[in-house]
Amino acid sequence: MDNEDGRRRRGRGGASGGQANLWPVRSVGGVHGSPFPGPVLAPPPASRSLSRSGQAGSDTEALAQPPPPPPPRAQTSPGPVKVGTAPNRRLGSVRGVLVSSPPGRRARLSSPGTGRSSSEAREELRRRLLGLIEGNRVMIFSKSYCPHCTRVKELFSSLGVQCNILELDQVDDGANVQEMLSEITNQRTVPNIFVNKVHMGGCDRTFQAHQSGLLQKLLQEDSTYDYDLIVIGGGSGGLACAQEAAILGKKVMVLDFVVPSPQGTSWGLGGTCVNVGCVPKKLMHQAALLGQALNDSRKFGWEYGQQVKHNWETMTEAIQNHISSLNWGHRLSLREKSVDYVNSYGEFVEHHRIKATNRKGQETSYTAAKFVIATGERPRYLGIQGDKEYCITSDDLFSLPYCPGKTLVVGASYVALECAGVLTGLGLDVTVMVRSVLLRGFDQEMAERVGSYMEQHGVKFLRKFIPVMVQQLEKGSPGKLKVVAKSTEGPETIEGVYNTVLLAIGRDSCTRKMGLDKIGVKINKKTGKIPVNDVEQTNVPYVYAVGDILEGKLELTPVAIQAGKLLARRLFGGCLEKCDYINVPTTVFTPLEYGCCGLSEEKAIEVYKKENLEVYHTFFWPLEWTVAGRDNNTCYAKIICNKFDNYRVIGFHVLGPNAGEVTQGFAAAMKCGLTKQLLDDTIGIHPTCGEVFTTLEITKSSGLDITQKGC
């Protein structure tokens, strides 16, 4: 936090002198002292030098000439001379244009002869540039070696004004940017300067404007909107985006409001992951693993009383305490970054305007130049008799004030299996009711192995049944519920009595009650998910979305965080990097953990055809399991290689202890083009589970036995 705070102050205050104006886009060049310590933004050196040598000549030439005369279309050529008292907010109007997207303007952009994709790419670039121009008080398109650019930067620096700088010679598509700029402004040369969204022109015009006082006047003008950015939803993605934008000097608000679950559970800032997802889930998983460790420990010589009971209240209290500290940490972190946090429900009422309703029903309205929707999802209900009255979901489980007792888990999502695993590990009687397959979307061989381990360790599975009615037999903590379920294959119905019924049948996006229709943001009518382009932009250009509500993207905290951060950097930091949704690793924290990265075997076969793949696999027996007397031939490792791409690893799957810890590094290796040969050449770390991947010899196609014999 210290560092980020430090960066923010450096960026915002403008008081730290010469460095102050250099901050965000400057870092594109990887200049030391950048606000991003990481080189994520640094372009590969090859392309940098290429663009430099390719353009240096023409630039010098262009700069030697006076700027081209304004073209006849007045709307697109606001000479700074004309700006005067009523500045022609050319780009302000462009913003309007983009919102309504008149076809005429778009049509003109795609020059004849260019294909559809290239016109899309150009449109994309235009959006990005307009985003930079709109999102920054001073935006300078520059080249790092151009002396005129340096003069302008020095001018703003001497005025103590922060400005964003994009060095065209240091980004991959600098030439395209220059092309697009000339289209937008009719000025091909650099520097190309915008102040409060008004096109200033080049170096000379900026200095003229400074002399006439026009520049100062423009700089003093207030932004039209209350905020540069309003983020709706204070979960992982929203908070990451808001904080990053604030670090980049933007005025940011976060709206977060937790609608209580039907059982009345609600929670603090931080979203699903912190409150009702990853964090409490992993902690309860740890509690269950400790139960297993207690069993093991006697084999390793530890001695203590035979009676070991688990106390649900102690566990949940400890976990909830930790969560409260995280909630508090998020509040603190927003405050430190000067992000306004409002605990209210946000709804769009008109373009750029949102209504925030707090718990007491008081309404306030705010405007912003840009919005990010990050409202996430909430558990789905069955829509049967008694479900909302008597059933709980993962929203309720982790803070349940009493031990749930005998539990029916409905669903076979990872949430369902993780919850069932935890409850069983704590010693409860647990049944999982599954409509069709386990862990849909995951590798099905792995999913079945996850399930069969759970089954061997006490979880009961009721396959091909769906509940049709839940009835309360007894009140209490927990009470008694009767569940009637019917077969998915025939007329058969069954009944069971449980203390608790936990629904984990899927999650629904929180997008339908936030006025998206008022501003025309499209959602998928069926799923409620929001379609976005590859820069997380919705069909309404100033509205973006990240996280679980995105259509066709992954519902994972680190993905939302990455997407949120990169979005803020693209919007306000001149960064071009997009969130990469490929080869994202994940881990299911079932009793035997399942980690994976890349494709499932099914998907790989679908994409590459079975005959083009080689699958290597083996069982393994963790050393710690031997003395503990735990199952051999249960932990399993599998990789899927593309034979025709140098046996590149396109799918990585591991079932075993610490699967998450094992998988992470391999995911990094897959980012770098991991092949089977490299796995073979790498030396194992002995004795670990991870080392099994360095000695995979048996292919699935060989049909050879992979069971481990003794040692």
Partner 1 sequence: MEAGRQDYNLLVIGGGSGGLACAKEAAQLGMKVAVVDYVEPSPRGTRWGLGGTCVNVGCIPKKLIHQAALLGGMIRDAPHYGWDVAQPVLHDWRKMAEAVQNYVKSLNWGHRVQLQDRKVKYFNIKASFVNEHTICGVTKGGKETLLSAEHIVIATGGRPRYPTHIEGALEYGITSDDIFWLKESPGKTLVVGASYVALECAGFLTGLGLDTTVMMRSIPLRGFDQQMSSLVTAYMASQGTRFLKHCTPSRVQKLPDGQLQVTWEDLTSGKENMGTFSTVLWAIGRIPETRSLNLENAGINTNPNSQKILVDAQEATSVPHIYAIGDVAEGRPELTPTAIMAGKLLARRLYGQSLDVMDYSNVPTTVFTPLEYGCVGLSEEEAMARHGEEHVEVYHAYYKPLEFTVAERDASQCYIKMVCLRKPPQLVLGLHFLGPNAGEVTQGFALGIKCGASYEQVMRTVGIHPTCAEEVAKLRISKRSGLDPTVTGC
Positions in 310-369 near partner 1 (CB under 8 A): 310-316, 318-319, 322, 325-326, 329-330, 332-333
CB of 307 vs partner 1, minimal distance in Å:
7
Q: Tokens standing for 371? A: 């919005």
Among 172, 221, 429, 624, binds partner 1 (CB under 8 A): 624
Is 6 a binder of partner 1 (CB under 8 A)?
Answer: yes
C-beta of 661: minimal distance to partner 1 in Å? 4
What Å distances lie between residue 205 and 61, 78, 221, CA to CA?
18, 12, 19
Does position 2 bind partner 1 by CB under 8 A? Answer: yes
Among 688, 701, 702, 704, binds partner 1 (CB under 8 A): 688
Catalytic residue among 310, 351, 352, 686: 686
Q: Are 450 and 417 in contact (CB under 8 A)?
A: yes
| 686 catalytic residue (yes or no) | yes
Q: Which one, 224 or 695, has the nearer CB to partner 1?
A: 695
Closer residue to partner 1 in complex, CB, 209/422 = 422
Q: Which is nearer to partner 1, 6 or 102 (CB)?
A: 6
Between CA 243 and CA 567 the distance in angstroms is 11
For residues 50 and 288, what is the distance between their CA atoms, to the nearest angstrom?
57
Q: How far apart are CB 544 and partner 1 at their closest, in Å?
A: 19
Rounded Cα–Cα distance for residues 452 and 435 (Å): 16
Given candidates 28, 273, 416, 535, which one binds partner 1 under the rule CB under 8 A? 273
Contact segment (CB under 8 A) with partner 1 among 140-148, 157-165, 300-308, 638-646 equals 300-308
Write the DSSP assignment of 575-618 as a string of letters: --PPP--SS--EEE-SSS-EEEEE--HHHHHHHH-GGGEEEEEE
* Closest separation in Å from C-beta 18 to partner 1: 18
**Based on the number of CB atoms within 10 Å of its own CB, is 515 exposed (0-12), middle (13-18) or buried (19 or more)?**
middle
| Strand boundaries in 358-487, DSSP class E | 363-373, 377-379, 392-393, 407-410, 430-434, 460-463, 465-474, 480-487
644 binds partner 1 (CB under 8 A): no
559 is a site residue for partner 1 (CB under 8 A): yes
Q: What residues between 82 and 111 interact with partner 1 by CB under 8 A?
A: none
- Determine if 555 is a binding residue for partner 1 (CB under 8 A): no
The closest of 231, 235, 244, 266 to 340, measured between CA atoms, is 231
CA 473 to chain centre: 43
CB hemisphere CA count around 527 (13 angstroms): 14
- Rounded Cα gap, residues 320 and 533, in angstroms: 38
- DSSP per position, 111-152: -TT--HHHHHHHHHHHHHHHHHHHH-SEEEEE-TT-HHHHHH
Decide whether 84 or 684 has the Cβ nearer to partner 1: 684
Q: How far is CA 13 from CA 10, 125, 162, in A?
A: 6, 30, 9
Q: Given candidates 42, 99, 384, 462, which one binds partner 1 under the rule CB under 8 A?
A: 42
Give the three-class secondary structure for 109. Answer: helix
> Residue 44, interface with partner 1 (CB under 8 A)?
yes
Q: In the 3-class helix/strand/coil scheme, how is 8-37 assigned residue by residue?
A: HHHHHHCCCHHHHHHCCHHHHHCCCCCCCC
Applying CB under 8 A, among 73, 309, 525, 526 the residue interacting with partner 1 is: 309
The site for partner 1, by CB under 8 A, has a size of: 101
702 lies in the binding site for partner 1 (CB under 8 A): no
Phi, psi of 586 (to 5 degrees): -150, 165
Indicate which single residue of 64, 104, 672, 707 sits in contact with partner 1 (rule: CB under 8 A).
672
Q: From 144-152, 183-191, 356-364, 656-664, give the range in contact with partner 1 by CB under 8 A.
A: 656-664
Q: What number of CA atoms fall less than 13 Å from residue 580's CA on the CB side?
A: 11
CB burial of residue 278 (10 Å; 0-12, 13-18, 19+): middle
304 binds partner 1 (CB under 8 A): yes
Q: Between residues 51 and 557, which has the closer beta carbon with respect to partner 1?
A: 557
Rounded CA-CA distance 508/27 in Å is 39
Residue 305 CB, nearest approach to partner 1 (Å): 3
User: Any contact of residue 590 with partner 1 (CB under 8 A)?
Assistant: no
User: Which of the ranges 10-18, 71-79, 102-110, 688-696 carries the binding residues for partner 1, by CB under 8 A?
Assistant: 688-696
Closer CB to partner 1, residue 319 or residue 416? 319
Q: Which amino acid is at 367?
A: T
Residues 228-247 that bind partner 1 (CB under 8 A): none
What is the pattern of x (binds partner 1, CB under 8 A) and - over residues 414-453? ------------x---------------------------
Residues belonging to the chain: 711
* Amino acid making up residue 663: T
Pick from 123, 296, 508, 602 the residue near partner 1 by CB under 8 A: 296
639 lies in the site for partner 1, by CB under 8 A: no
Of 204, 602, 631, 661, which one interacts with partner 1 (CB under 8 A)?
661
For partner 1, the closer of residues 213 and 687 by Cβ is: 687
Under the criterion CB under 8 A, does residue 37 sit at the interface with partner 1? yes
**For partner 1, which is the closer residue by CB, 35 or 135?**
35
- Binding of residue 673 to partner 1 (CB under 8 A): yes
Residues annotated as catalytic (active site), given as ranges = 686
